[in-house]
């Protein structure tokens, strides 16, 4: 049976807003910086992520400190009776420290992004200086590079890495 013929899709018509300017998507591609409204949106998004991270870090710190306080006070009631259980508790504690360390680094990235928002440079690629697409910034609000520059950076790192 023959496939139905494909129809050509109509070309999109550039929409005009009341002031006669092109739509936001077209404006973004021709601009060199995010506007104030966009900067406020990303500042709010970054602050929300920051608050969530701080709460998670506080939770991890409280739980880790509680376990360490019991160990330091000689409280053996929380210790496992079996060596494997003790190893599991130790591993859980190490994972909590690792997670806290990772989230602490992410918190630093958020702070750096907020500094760029305040300076008006948020959304600009640190390598090529072009505007990073909003879709990328929404997916990775701490992004410092456009996708092309980030891909080139990762390729360079892979090329330098010794073969396994």
Judge residue 110's burial from the number of C-beta atoms within 10 Å of its C-beta, 0-12 exposed, 13-18 middle, 19 or more buried.
buried
- CA 91 to chain CA centroid, nearest Å: 27
132 and 56, same domain (yes or no): no
42 and 98, same domain (yes or no): yes
Supply the pLDDT for residue 161. Answer: 78
Measured distance CA(142)–CA(122) in Å, rounded: 9
Supply the pLDDT for residue 24. Answer: 37
131 and 116, same domain (yes or no): no
**Residue 23 domain-assigned (yes or no):** no
**Residue 138 domain-assigned (yes or no):** yes
How many independent structural domains does the chain possess?
2
Supply the pLDDT for residue 10. Answer: 37
Each of the 164 residues of the chain gets a pLDDT tens digit; together they read 444 443 343 333 333 344 443 333 444 455 789 999 999 999 999 999 999 999 998 888 877 766 655 555 555 555 556 667 767 777 877 888 888 889 999 999 999 999 999 999 999 999 999 999 999 999 999 999 999 999 999 999 999 978 76
**Residue 11 domain-assigned (yes or no):** no
**Residue 51 domain-assigned (yes or no):** yes
Per DSSP, the residues of the chain read: -PPPPPPPPPPPPPPB-TTSPBPHHHHHHH-SS--HHHHHHHHHHHHHHHHHHHHHHHHHHHHHHHHHHHHHTT--TTS-SSHHHHHHHHHHHHHHHHHHHHHHHHHHHHHHHHHHHHHT-TTB-TTT-PBPPHHHHHH-TT--S-HHHHHHHHHHHHHHSPP-
Supply the pLDDT for residue 6. Answer: 39
117 and 128, same domain (yes or no): no
Supply the pLDDT for residue 39. Answer: 95
Supply the pLDDT for residue 17. Answer: 40
Q: Domain containing 46: what range?
A: 34-121
Supply the pLDDT for residue 66. Answer: 65
112 and 137, same domain (yes or no): no
Supply the pLDDT for residue 105. Answer: 94
Question: pTM, whole model, 2 decimals?
Answer: 0.65
103 and 43, same domain (yes or no): yes
96 and 134, same domain (yes or no): no
76 and 147, same domain (yes or no): no
69 and 137, same domain (yes or no): no
Supply the pLDDT for residue 136. Answer: 96
**Residue 13 domain-assigned (yes or no):** no
């Amino acid at each position: 049976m023959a496939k139905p013929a494909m129809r050509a899709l109509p070309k999109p018509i550039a929409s005009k807003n009341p002031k006669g300017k092109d739509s936001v998507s077209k404006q973004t591609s021709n601009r060199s910086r995010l506007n104030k409204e966009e900067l406020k949106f990303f500042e709010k998004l970054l602050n929300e992520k920051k608050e969530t991270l701080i709460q998670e870090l506080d939770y991890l710190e409280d739980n880790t400190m509680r376990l360490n306080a019991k160990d330091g006070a000689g409280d053996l009631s929380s210790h496992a009776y079996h060596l494997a259980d003790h190893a599991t508790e130790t591993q859980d504690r190490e994972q909590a420290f690792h997670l806290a360390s990772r989230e602490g680094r992410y918190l630093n990235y958020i702070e750096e992004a907020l500094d760029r928002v305040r300076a008006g440079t948020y959304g600009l690629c640190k390598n090529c200086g072009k505007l990073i697409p909003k879709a990328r910034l929404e997916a990775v609000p701490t992004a410092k590079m456009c996708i092309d520059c980030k891909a080139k950076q990762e390729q360079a790192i892979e090329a330098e890495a010794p073969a396994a």
